[in-house]
Amino acid sequence: MTNTESAAGAAKKAPAPKAPAKKVAPAVAVDPAVIEVRNPGTGEVVGSVPTETADAVAAKVRELRLYQPEWEAIGPDGRKEWLLKLQDWLVDNTEHLADVLQSETSKPRVDALIDPAFSVDLTGYYARRAAKFLADEHPSPHSPLARVKKLTTVYKPYPVVGVITPWNFPLAMPVIDVIPALAAGAAVLLKPSEVTPLSALELARGWAEIGAPPVFAVVTGAGATGAAVVENADYIQFTGSTATGRKIAAACVERLIPYSLELGGKDPAIVLADADLDRAAHGIAFGGMFNAGQVCISVERVYVEAPVYDAFVAKLTAAVKDLRQGIDGRESKHDVGALANENQVLIVQRHVDEAVAAGAKVLTGGKRTGVGTFFEPTVLVDVDHTMSCIGEETFGPTLPVVKVADEAEAVRLANDSVYGLSASVWTGDKDRGERIARQLNAGAVNINDVFSNLFNFALPMGGWGQSGVGARWGGASGVRKYCRQKAITRPILPTQQKELIWFPYQMPKLLVALGAMRAAGARGLRRVDIPALLKLKGDTK
């Protein structure tokens, strides 16, 4: 991905299309039972999917429950073979998957190829490591008294995991959660966004084509279909808006089932005076404009120390101006594509217009362009925290830049947000960068880079505040999250008919047992209960 940012900086900007801007209808249900899928860059209908009812969802969950026990029983090594066959299928079908993905997103070709490549990498990681991650654990007893037992923790998968994904990465987002859940031994029901359901259906087709057990299914539809998944599955993994996440959390609490939510973000970048400004400018341009800014961990706020502010803004503006925007086929001609739907265009335009009305300046971009849902890559300056472009999630190709006096002000403003998904720090002193990273209220911080945590599955990916609940990945945690933990104790020494503290209570024996617990857990003279010892001798004075 770092190679892409360099290419973007060196590319010559293509002229904007001269056709007048016009709105393109998003995916809509012309027939309530059918959803049309459109290419947002052209408005062309590229497919249709059914709106599946609550009864249909419940039926699919029941079927998944029938096959899940056998899937669990073949163990991690058995599941590995199927997951690696799916990995082979992803490799063999990369070009086709990129074609489908472009048809429903209007991404540049390079962006479309990232989804299957990422999916291949993650599938291999969890397929090959699940056996180690899910192996029984035998923790050490906490005291000498507990050493009479062998302690075991067992990981048992939830029968059916429901995964609900957004439209920004139609293949990678499902794979991110479907694969670890399958590796854990769960069956999985996936509900992709109704805006981009076609890539998810290709993933299900691949699972069927390799002949894998029927423990992975896809349901299509809008909000009511997603609600039915929440009502029927045993665990919910949701990625999407904070507003929808709240509703899902409430529904899960009502059912007393676990859930994990990755929600909105408003990720800050801090540029310090000792940073490599060229790298920072290209990196932040990439971090803010990749996928037209439609990434949960996009750079959406930039704080720059005053001594280098002017120089940095000039470099950033030049890098953003050089970006090529347009529609790709299989050839790679552009860096930035269209927004996913008309609603996203309206949000981005509102944030820019409100900022300008409040005194901000547009250095490049600032408006939609051409046919479809394209919005120009935009740099804003003279912005502050009263503006929506700083306070609200934009999810579009804008980079608002704020001048700060020093490091302390940068940290304070970076933390002045209800969101806390990720952040970046740009500095020539890596120790200083880590010190600042530890002060930021975010689930991940990259030093002199963007997105790098997303490609390191040994690290957890989760948000703080209104950016979510729980995390994905984190090595073993990535599969264990889809499991229930079971504790087993097994005697090591020969057992007696009854223990000292069993009925009927006998005070002398009980005091021995309680005294042993105290001696093992307390400290100093408090380990010894003198009055109790005297009582055992028949002397209570």
Nearest to 248 by CA among 346, 343, 166, 171: 166
Active-site position among 104, 262, 300, 407: 262
Question: What is the torsion angle, in degrees rounded to the nearest 10, for the CA atoms of residue 422, residue 427, residue 428 and residue 430?
Answer: -40
CB 272 within 8 A of CB 306: no
**Residues 166/114, Cβ–Cβ less than 8 Å:** no
CB-side neighbour CA atoms (13 Å) of 83: 30
**DSSP letter assigned to residue 185:** T
Q: Which amino acid is at 139?
A: P
36: exposed, middle or buried (Cβ count in 10 Å: 0-12, 13-18, 19+): middle
Six-digit token string for 296: 């949960």
Strands 422-426 and 419-420, how do they pair?
unpaired
**Dist CA 15 CA 211 (whole Å):** 48
**Which amino acid belongs to residue 520?**
A
Point out the catalytic residue in the list 72, 252, 296, 305. 296
CB crowding 498-530: b at 16 or more within 10 Å, else e: eeeeeeeeeeeeebeeebeeeeeeeeeeeeebe
The DSSP bridge pattern shows strands 398-404 and 299-305 to be parallel
Per the annotation, the verdict on 296 as an active-site residue is yes
389 is catalytic: no
CA distance 274 to 465: 30
Q: 188-216: string of b/e by CB count within 10 Å (b at 16+)? A: bbbbbbbbbbbbbbbbbebbeeeebbebb
Contact 204, 188 (CB under 8 A): no
Could you tell me if residue 430 is left (phi over 0), alpha (psi between -120 and 50 degrees) or otherwise beta? alpha
Residues recognised as catalytic = 262, 296
